[in-house]
A and B are shown apart, each in its own frame.
Chain A
């Protein structure tokens, strides 16, 4: 672990990415407390104003303060984006690794299940899942956390398949390499073989998938709320803010620029962190 960190620290861009992400997270946590303007107050006399000292990020068409909304909604967007993708990666790596490592019947079964999941029509499936489980999960976890879990579960559950295919493809090539065969003949356990010898050599595409996935999940979350499946309409997640801004692109571009920029900065910093992490994990570069 210490090795990984030492290697990671050497990567300048990765450290910068880490810094930017830390700043974003910190402002989401502390920002709403420091910045006293409420984000949900409607005031039509202040509608669609550009950035000013009073409203740093300007206001939207209802006169709500955009910075307060970015800070408030960002907690949800970021939490959803990261957790949903973590779930997708966890499922994808697990299934892909087992299929690729074991091969044979297990591989066939797992990959055909993957085919099935890929083929399912997402939109009707979402409607069905929400219809079947929303009230049940709300009863267990409460209305807010219930929706949060449901959104993560849904986004994670719909995004693991490409990861599984990628990991399996990586395993198929790596597992035949000389050093794996050597480790195997030395009696390494399957877990150790997967974890120490094969996975680090197949992790590159997975990290890319995770990086891009976070950005995607932030947008997907907003798509869910347009279907009435996500958070209530007065929760200003980044994706929703971007969507709401689209009709005002020519009259009030600031409504789009700020949420767009934070999404981009998040994705970019995660990308550099991922890049650095990949190098740090890769046994060959150590």
Chain B
């Protein structure tokens, strides 16, 4: 018995550890019961509140509550002012006639949440911080064509570009333009940037200020007493909770009512419908630039060069370079079914590569689901089933495709639907799924990445992340082709190359007339779509679940959903 009790010692270790942990110090918090509280649920939890150092969009959502840019854009692409006092135009002299510089007037009397005044020096500092190589900010792309940023006076900032810039309105606007407080980050300029306390508890000019932040778990916000419209704020306290998965996040809003808001949901319509019967909340969608598309490999993934490179541009794809075959694929895919069964209200079938802002969404294109036409086109191209194995072939080549995408339930179902459709027209498809962290990795050594494209077709989503689509349209230019020679760093995964397209893109970069630029981008889109160089499937909405009593949301694809959180209220 004596020795038996010793063994119980081991079992006692567990309770002791957990008992100790219960005594661990926790920061004091005010009682939350009587306060007006908003509970935000992020299944992808924010891990840092300095957007310029973040590695993911979820951080922008959380940071945007407390940090503001000079201006942003609403769903129509119209400018909305935040820290700027007026929109720079040719008329008010803010914008230079040749678009080589822009001068912003700032709002006066704005204060950071710690009471320090906001001035032009903060804007200049943000520029210096973001462009400092040792800081290694992710948002630097927007600021690269700037020659200098100077404070003309305390409330005037002048940005001079290296060359005429039709996209002059991007720096310091939208989610990538959030202004950092100089006094909080000054000491941490350079390689020390990661040690800045402001990365976790930033001081901001926005409606709510961060009081507590546990990366990957919770963030607590309170009213910012210095905020311009503090009296109109709808809540005393915001509780942002992270973790879990998309479906359970929706459930917490729609069925149990434990949260008021959940973002970035991707849930099948049947499941959502069932949840909405809970009656606690509703689904709100915001259609933006995101297009779920199938990239077509124009190079041969099965040909390996002596250096071991697959999908090299020197070896064109044996049949996907044939326009008729690509058209056949396009006819064989049933966008309508994919949308109605897998996306419901959160997606719209589309034929276009560029869909937003609305003015850029080409009216000249269309899609059609027609397996007969698909089969006819394949016959015409000489692909017939000569050996009666159910698969078309030509010159001894079987029409087999490898179709890859990231691991994601909706994508796997899309894959299965497409596989079945292509089977009926005589094309065999092998499905391949890759963990998202690998598929979307830029690691040049891994053959399974989106850029290496060791398959015939691949499915993913992207879009222009500002109302200015120049960077996005650039992805199909020849210089962007991802190859071993550039460590697969280009964004042109399809390895499409067409000098006519390149010429159009070059033209768009110097064209200052907005109407003419619009036409150029539509022309580029039409080229890609009509020749089926890419198969756009679904224009995907950002879907959020919202408690029925919350009002005031105004979603825009060009900024994070929390951009107007000052207007959110709970209706009684």
Which A residues contact B (CB, under 8 angstroms)?
A: 40-42, 44, 47-48, 61-62, 127, 131, 135, 143, 225-229, 232-234, 244, 247-248, 250-251
Minimum CB–CB distance from B387 to chain A (whole Å) comes to 21
Q: Which of B337, B341, B431, B447 contacts A233 (CB 8 A)?
A: B431
What is the minimal beta-carbon distance from B296 to any residue of chain A, in angstroms?
A: 20
By the criterion CB–CB under 8 Å, are B435 and A62 in contact? Answer: no
Contacts of A232 in B (CB 8 A): 430-433
What distance in Å separates the Cβ of A268 from its nearest Cβ neighbour in chain B?
A: 29
| A265 vs chain B, min Cβ distance (A) | 27
Q: Which residue of A lies closest to B439 (CB)?
A: A228
Pull 25 A–B residue pairs with CB atoms less than 8 Å apart, ordered by A: A41-B420, A44-B337, A44-B341, A61-B270, A61-B413, A62-B341, A62-B416, A62-B417, A127-B435, A131-B446, A131-B448, A226-B407, A227-B407, A228-B407, A232-B431, A232-B433, A233-B415, A233-B416, A233-B431, A234-B415, A234-B416, A234-B419, A247-B247, A247-B267, A247-B271
Q: B431-450: which residues lie under 8 A (CB-CB) from chain A?
A: 431-435, 438-439, 446-448
Contact with B438, one of A40, A61, A228, A244 (Cβ below 8 angstroms): A228
* B409 interface contact, C-beta 8 A: yes
Q: Main SS of the interface on chain A?
A: loop
Shortest distance in angstroms between A135's beta carbon and chain B's nearest beta carbon?
Answer: 7
Q: Is the CB of B420 within 8 A of A250?
A: no
- Contact: B247 with A42, CB < 8 Å? no
Q: Which residues of B contact A48 (CB under 8 A)?
A: 270
With A44-B337, A227-B435 already in contact, the answer to whether A250 and B274 are too (CB < 8 A) is: yes
Do A42 and B438 touch (CB < 8 A)? no
Judge whether B435 and A135 touch: CB under 8 Å: no
B412 at the interface (CB under 8 A from A): yes
A267–B438 Cα gap in the complex (Å)? Answer: 34
Residues of A within 8 Å of B419, CB to CB, are 234
Check A61 against B268 for contact (C-beta < 8 Å).
Answer: yes
Q: Which residue of B lies closest to A43 (CB)?
A: B420
Asked whether, in the complex, the Cβ of A248 is within 8 Å of the Cβ of B271, the reply is: yes
Bound form: Cα–Cα A200–B431 in Å: 46
Q: Which of A40, A225, A247, A248 contacts B433 (CB 8 A)?
A: A225
Q: Which residues of A contact B434 (CB under 8 A)?
A: 228
Report how far A52 CA is from B431 CA in the complex, Å: 31
Within 8 A of A (CB), among B344-380: none
Which of A42, A131, A135, A244 makes the CB contact (< 8 A) with B409? A244
Residue of A nearest to B409 (CB): A244
A28 to chain B, nearest CB (A): 22
In the bound complex, residues from chain B placing their C-beta under 8 Å from that of A234 are 415-416, 419, 431
Query: Which residues of chain B (291-341) have a CB below 8 Å from chain A?
Result: 337, 341
Type the 1/0 row for B376-418, where 1 means its CB is closer than 8 Å to any CB of A: 0000000000000000000000000000001101001101110
Q: What residue of chain A has the Cβ atom nearest to residue B403's Cβ?
A: A232
**Shortest beta-carbon distance from A147 to chain B in Å:** 11
Residues of A within 8 A of B274 (CB): 250-251
Could you say which residues of chain B place their CB within 8 Å of the CB of A44?
A: 337, 341
Taking CB atoms, residues of chain A closer than 8 Å to B268 are 61, 247
CA distance A251 to B417 in the complex (A): 22
State whether A127 and B247 are in contact (beta carbons under 8 Å apart), knowing that A234-B416, A248-B271 are contacts in the complex: no
Collect the chain A residues with CB atoms within 8 Å of residue B407's CB: 226-228
A113 to chain B, nearest CB (A): 24
Which A residues touch B430, using CB under 8 A? 143, 232
User: CA of A233 to CA of B417 in the docked complex: distance in angstroms?
Assistant: 12
User: How far does the alpha carbon of A232 sit from the alpha carbon of B434 in the complex, in Å?
Assistant: 10
Query: Could you tell me the distance between the alpha carbons of A15 and B416 in the complex, rounded to whole angstroms?
Result: 42
Q: List the A side residues contacting B420 at CB < 8 Å.
A: 40-42
A47 to chain B: which residues have CB within 8 Å? 270, 341
Residue of A nearest to B271 (CB): A247
- Residues of chain B in range 415-474 having any CB-CB distance to chain A below 8 Å: 415-417, 419-420, 430-435, 438-439, 446-448
Instruction: Choose among A42, A225, A247 the residue with the greatest number of B CB atoms under 10 Å from its CB.
Output: A247
Contacts beyond the supplied A40-B420, A135-B447: 7 A-B pairs with Cβ under 8 Å: A61-B413, A228-B407, A228-B432, A228-B438, A232-B431, A233-B416, A250-B274
Tell whether, in the assembled complex, residue A127 and residue B438 are in contact, meaning their CB atoms are under 8 Å apart: yes
Min distance, Cβ A32 to any Cβ of chain B, angstroms: 19
CB-CB nearest in chain B for A252 = B270
Q: Which residues of A contact B433 (CB under 8 A)?
A: 225, 228, 232-233
Cα separation A47 to B268 with both chains bound (whole Å): 13
- A126 to chain B: closest residue by CB: B435
Given contacts A41-B420, A135-B447, A247-B247, contact A228 B409 (CB under 8 A): no
B275 to chain A, nearest CB (A): 9
Contact A251 B341 (CB under 8 A): no
Shortest distance from the beta carbon of A179 to any chain B beta carbon, whole Å: 24
- Provide the residues of chain B in CB contact with A251, threshold 8 Å: 270-271, 274
Q: In the complex the two chains form, what is the Cα distance from A48 to B268 in whole Å?
A: 13
- Tell me the bound Cα distance from A62 to B406 in angstroms: 20
A-B residue pairs, 10 tightest by C-beta: A233-B412, A228-B434, A228-B435, A251-B274, A228-B433, A232-B431, A227-B435, A247-B271, A228-B407, A42-B420
Bound: A248/B270 CA distance, A: 9
How far is B337's CA from A40's CA once the two chains are assembled, in angstroms? Answer: 17
A89 → chain B closest CB, angstroms: 26
Write out the residue numbers on chain B whose beta carbons fall within 8 Å of the beta carbon of A233: 412, 415-416, 431, 433
Q: What B residues does A135 contact at CB under 8 A?
A: 447
B431 contacts across to A, CB distance below 8 A: 232-234
Of chain A, the residue at the smallest CB distance from B411 is A233
| Shortest Cβ distance from B337 into A: residue | A44
A251 and B272 CA atoms in complex are apart in Å by: 11
Closest to A246 in B: B247
Chain A min CB distance to B567 (Å): 33
The smallest C-beta distance from A142 to any residue of chain B, in angstroms, reads 13
State how many angstroms separate the Cβ of B438 from the closest Cβ of chain A.
7
- Whole-angstrom CA separation of A205 from B271 in the bound complex: 43
Q: How far is the CA of A39 from the CA of B463 in the complex (A)?
A: 36
Residues in B with CB closer than 8 Å to A244 are 409
Shortest CB-to-CB span from A224 to chain B, Å, is: 10
Closest chain-A Cβ to B437's Cβ sits at a distance in Å of 8
The smallest C-beta distance from A173 to any residue of chain B, in angstroms, reads 14
Q: How far is the CB of B333 from chain A (nearest CB, A)?
A: 13
B283 to chain A, nearest CB (A): 15
**Which B residues, 238 to 287, have Cβ-Cβ distances below 8 Å to chain A?**
247, 267-268, 270-271, 274
**In the assembled complex, which residues on chain B have CB atoms less than 8 Å from the CB atom of A42?**
416-417, 420
- Give Cα distance in the complex from A140 to B432, angstroms: 19
Residues from chain A with Cβ under 8 Å of B446 in the complex: 131
Most buried by B among A41, A48, A228, A244: A228
A-contact bits for B20-35, CB 8 A (1 contact / 0 none): 0000000000000000
Could you tell me the distance in whole angstroms from the C-beta of A121 to the nearest C-beta in chain B? 14
Q: Cβ of B341: which chain A residues have Cβ within 8 Å of it?
A: 44, 47, 62
Q: With the chains together, A4 CA to B294 CA distance in Å?
A: 60
Q: Please, which residue of chain B has its CB at the minimum distance from the CB of A235?
A: B431
Asked if B435 and A229 sit within 8 Å, CB to CB, the answer is: yes
CB neighbours (8 Å) of B439 from chain A are 228
A44, A225, A232: which has the most chain B beta carbons within 10 Å? A232
CA distance A248 to B247 in the complex (A): 11
Once bound together, how far apart are the Cα atoms of A127 and B446, in whole Å?
Answer: 11
For A250, what are the chain B residues with a Cβ–Cβ distance below 8 Å? 274
Type the 1/0 row for B155-184, where 1 means its CB is closer than 8 Å to any CB of A.
000000000000000000000000000000
Cα–Cα distance between A41 and B424 once the two chains are bound (Å): 11
Instruction: Give the docked Cα–Cα distance between A228 and B405 (Å).
Output: 9
How far apart are B293's CB and chain A's nearest CB, in angstroms? 19
For B247, the chain A residues whose CB sits under 8 A away are 247
